[in-house]
Amino acid sequence: MDFIKVSSACPKTRVCDIDYNLTNILSCINDAVNNNSKFIVFPELCITSYTCADLFLQSTLINKAYSGIENLLEKTKDLDILIAVGAPLLEGNALYNCAYVLFKGKVLGIMPKSYLPNYSEFYEKRWFTEGLNIIDKIIDLPFQENVPFGTNLIFSAGNAKFSFEICEDLWVTIPPSSYLSLMGANIIGNLSASNELVSKSNYRKNLISNQSARCMSSYIYSSAGVHESTTDVLFSGHLLISENGSILKENNRFNRENEVIYSIIDLFRLNSERMKNLSFRDAIKYLKVKPNIIKFKFDNTEIKNFDRYIDKHPFVPSNIRERNERCMEIFNIQASSLAKRLEYTGLNKAVVGISGGLDSTLALLVICKTFKLLGYPMKNIITITMPGFGTTDRTYTNALTLCKELGCDLREINIVEAALLHFKDIGHDKDIHDVTYENVQARERTQILMDLANKEGGLLIGTGDLSELALGWCTYNGDHMSMYSVNPSIPKTLVRYLVRYVAENESTEKVSETLLDILDTPVSPELLPSDSKGNIVQKTEDIVGPYELHDFFLYHFMKNGSSKERILFLAKEAFKDDYDQETILKWLDKFIWRFFSQQFKRSALPDGPKVGSISLSPRGDLKMPSDASPNSFL
């Protein structure tokens, strides 16, 4: 079970009117079932309503609440959904504010509220007893015996591990959900009655998002609605579903009707994040309380209508403002890293090969930013264009224009004669356009750049990106090598946006025009001769596949350790309007094969900054044997 559909609900209520409340709770449950949800969270004390005040001390209300729970169990005994409702519990002489967890006509367990607010407009200690230290207790209800009661309950159904806290529990220094997550819970429900004040909703939302990130969990929040008593306070019925720091779904507050929101939770992602995060695992050893695991089983967790949004470009923020902020930050990381290396080596010159392609363009933009940062003259950036057998007028002209407009030291070294001589030296027919034909050119260019950097006392800057490293789309000891690389953790899909960001925000008109034309040029190493009209023949994406697919594959393979089957499922959903299954599968197989077979190149990478959450450096994120077989993954 990789995915599960969950829901958060706010029913209409009347204070102390349990029959009315129950009718609306059942209506929300039926909506959730009809929408294929397997889990639903209701607000705090929703059976009675939260604002009963001293009426909580009346036995009539308590007994009626028990009858309401019993009635709810009878009405939902044939429904395949886990239900969490809020109601009081009288145990001994103490009254507790609790989450009742129901499944198929049975109370699986009851979790008391750990922390009771008793300040400002809250007076909960007047009626309730805190449940902070209650663990492993078994109690009897009027309608069911031997019910687990405590703050350490985990309700387990396969990969889904549910647990709960109540309202104020989230607002304390160390919320119970932090411990519950370490105990194994990956879906936390919060039954809440949080009143509305100006700007409080934003704080609440950030709190929930941050807690889900800290716990590497899903966090499902339901708060009491507008029909609660408004003697001095108003509730808004705020509903939120979060997953590992992201808000997946949020309602519009102040709704006056029954409301249920839904989202699909990625359990695989949550569990893989926890498996990789050693700090999360290390924290488990400090737990002093063991979980009480209550197992149950859903009849069917199949999601009939998979409507979770799958981002086809996971490396690139879809929001323009956020994307621009990300681009600015990436440039700062790249420039600051390069500045450190230049200062450390005592060099004030940089050498870079410029092809008129995307990667070398981005590298040049980074170098320019770095030199401005350090106060070095632009003439100390030595840009080398090295036309070869496949260089087209378009890329050649763009390379020259860009370097001149940026004020760099532009030099041209044609490699055709040197390559032909080398073909002769090694006995290779120049008319055989094979891998030797291509790699001779790539290595000749790298040799020129290395030697020129030595001659000028400069640092040779590498230009290759993350996508090329993943596919091994570089020549070993050719463009694969440099003295320092600035793009090694930036995927091709993001390279485009970085170049566009400069074109639209930080360029003169001529530079912007050139950058936009570079963006419009097909990606190519230009190692094979152009056609009779001078157009590019060797298009990278025709050979290895679309970079947007490979970046998608790479993200899910590295970020979550996803299997081929899972990546295929996600890709079919993300690219359903762009590629058919046969095409996706073809390039997915190509990605896996190349990722494994080309590891030897990544094992010998030059230094370069880690920019995002994924890097393939052997000194960082990927320690992988160069001789591993891809068969099990294919």
Task: Just list the catalytic residues.
Answer: 44, 113, 167
Length of the chain: 634
Sorted by sequence, the CB contacts under 8 Å of residue 388 that are 6+ apart come out as: 414, 415, 416, 419, 441, 445, 526, 527
Q: What angle do CA 316, 323, 187 make, to 5 degrees?
A: 60
Query: 345-374: b or e for each residue (b if 16 or more CB lie within 10 Å)?
Result: eebbbbbbbbbbbbbbbbbbbbbbbbbeee
Residue 106 and residue 82 in contact, taking contact as beta carbons nearer than 8 Å: no
Strands (E), 123-203: 137-141, 144-149, 153-157, 160-166, 187-192
Q: Give the span between the Cα atoms of 55 and 49, in whole angstroms.
A: 11
User: Longest Cα pair distance anywhere in the chain, in angstroms?
Assistant: 101
**Which residues participate in the annotated binding site for ATP?**
353-360, 463
**Which residues participate in the annotated binding site for L-glutamine?**
119, 194, 200
**Which residues participate in the annotated binding site for deamido-NAD(+)?**
439, 468, 473-476, 601
3-state secondary structure of 552: helix
Closest listed residue to residue 611, CA positions, set 499, 496, 494, 489? 489
**Which residues participate in the annotated binding site?**
119, 194, 200, 353-360, 439, 463, 468, 473-476, 601
Residue 102 and residue 55 in contact, taking contact as beta carbons nearer than 8 Å: no
Q: Give the span between the Cα atoms of 307 and 491, in whole angstroms.
A: 27
Q: What is the DSSP string of 507-534?
A: --HHHHHHHHHHHTSPP----S---TTS
Token duo for residue 80: 């395949």
